[in-house]
Amino acid sequence: MKKMFLIIAATFFVVFSANAQYFQVDTARLNTAYRELIDNPDSMEKQEAFFYAFPNNWNEFITTYGFCSKDGYDLTMYSAAYEHIAALGSKISLINDTAYCRKLVNIAVGGVYGADAPNHFKTALHRTMREKEGGMLYCISRLRKGHQMQFWQFYWSSNGKSDELEKEFAHLYESNAGKYPDMMKTMEIAFHYFYNGVNIDGGYLKGSGVYYDNNGQYLFPVLETQAEFPGGNKVLKEWIKNNLQYPIECVENKIEGRAFVRFVVKKDGSIDNVKILKSSRNSELDQEALRLMNDEDMPQWIPATQFSEEEGKYIKVDCMSVLPIVFKLNNVPTCTNPEREDKKRR
């Protein structure tokens, strides 16, 4: 009986521990904290609220911001990843450096290099290392050796060569081999195996890129640089604001919504294969989102790039992107373009 009780207790502990690892982040709290931080960026209270609402480890991070292609899946947090990570990197200036670095290090331990949120976070991680090198290395040094390896594995993971990464590695090793000899050895091993050594195109075997599934659907690989609207996200929002044509019937009936549009940015910067990934639940709003992305006045995007082993250099490639088109009635006066309405009537 005693033995059976111990087995049940051990099983409960394992299940409880596993569930605890995947505990969901309070996204309502996180989104509220983000909006309040943007409105009051110099407030210590608002910085702390967002900082502590942000995920604390990799499981929380990827559960919050990861992409899911399942129909009907809510991609609100997936689409918010870039702005949230950017805010963590540029808006948090009043938090103690040690606490700040410790949080980023904890998230990176066990991280898996991938597109979108993981790639955005990895970029923020390298920027923080440049700006707060002493604090970052101190926090990494406090990890157990296995966790140090997990951190450096994520940090150096790449699918191609990079002069910038090679220079960064040389700087870190030469500057810190005396102070952190054991950690620098761990870092060197991770760099040897994961820099220019990670396949992120769907296969593990070298040169075994998987680009189509069983149905012939193109699978886009994780890219070194993602496609970008010229001028960045802020300019993209302004372009949408100036070119969106809010359906008149939706205005009259006070209908709002958010449509997630999936599209391909071709290697020449043009937009192709525009589809509704998640409906706004209103057909007119969905149709306007599609029209907007197919607009002939849409500027050419900056295409994505990826390292080509065959050519031995970075090349422009097609890239799949997801963009939320938000319809808010309080934006109607500013997002209606009279010139475009006149053009439409003519």
Where does the pLDDT of residue 206 fall: very low under 50, low under 70, confident under 90, or very high at 90 and above? low
């940015």: which residue's tokens?
Answer: 265
Residue 174 φ/ψ, nearest 5 degrees: -65, -35
The amino acid at 212 = Y
Grouping H, G, I as helix, E, B as strand and the rest as coil, residue 346 is: coil
For residue 228, what is the DSSP state? Answer: B
Q: Is 322 exposed, middle or buried (0-12, 13-18, 19+ CB in 10 A)?
A: middle
Minimum mean pLDDT among 66-70, 177-181, 191-195: which range?
Answer: 66-70
> Cα angle vertex 268, ends 292, 315, to 5°?
135
The Cα–Cα gap between 146 and 5 comes to 33
Where does the pLDDT of residue 337 fall: very low under 50, low under 70, confident under 90, or very high at 90 and above? very low
Q: Is 24 exposed, middle or buried (0-12, 13-18, 19+ CB in 10 A)?
A: exposed
Q: Residue 332's pLDDT is what?
A: 60
Mean pLDDT (the chain) is 83
Grouping H, G, I as helix, E, B as strand and the rest as coil, residue 164 is: helix
For residue 295, what is the DSSP state? Answer: -
The pLDDT > 90 percentage for the chain reads 55
**In DSSP terms, which residues pair with 263 in a beta bridge?**
321
Residue ranges of the chain that CATH labels 3.30.2420.10: 233-345
27: pLDDT strictly greater than 60 = yes
39: pLDDT strictly greater than 60 = yes
Which strands make up the sheet holding 319-327, listed edge to edge? Answer: 271-278, 257-265, 319-327
Helix (H) and strand (E) counts in the chain = 16, 5
Residues 191, 196, 201, 206, CA torsion sign: negative
219 or 132, higher pLDDT: 132
Grouping H, G, I as helix, E, B as strand and the rest as coil, residue 215 is: coil
* C-alpha dist (Å) from residue 1 to 6, 12, 269: 9, 17, 69
């191609």: which residue's tokens?
Answer: 160
Q: Quick one: average pLDDT of 318-325?
A: 84
Residue 69 φ/ψ, nearest 5 degrees: -90, 0
Task: Check: CB of residue 298 under 8 Å from CB of residue 271.
Answer: yes
Which regions of the chain does DSSP assign to beta strands (E)? 257-265, 271-278, 304-308, 313-317, 319-327
Q: Give this prediction's pTM.
A: 0.65
Q: Quick one: average pLDDT of 26-51?
A: 96
119: pLDDT strictly greater than 50 = yes
**In DSSP terms, which residues pair with 260 in a beta bridge?**
278, 324
- Note the CATH number of domain 233-345: 3.30.2420.10
Task: Check: CB of residue 224 under 8 Å from CB of residue 159.
Answer: yes
Task: Check: CB of residue 286 under 8 Å from CB of residue 279.
Answer: yes
43: pLDDT strictly greater than 50 = yes
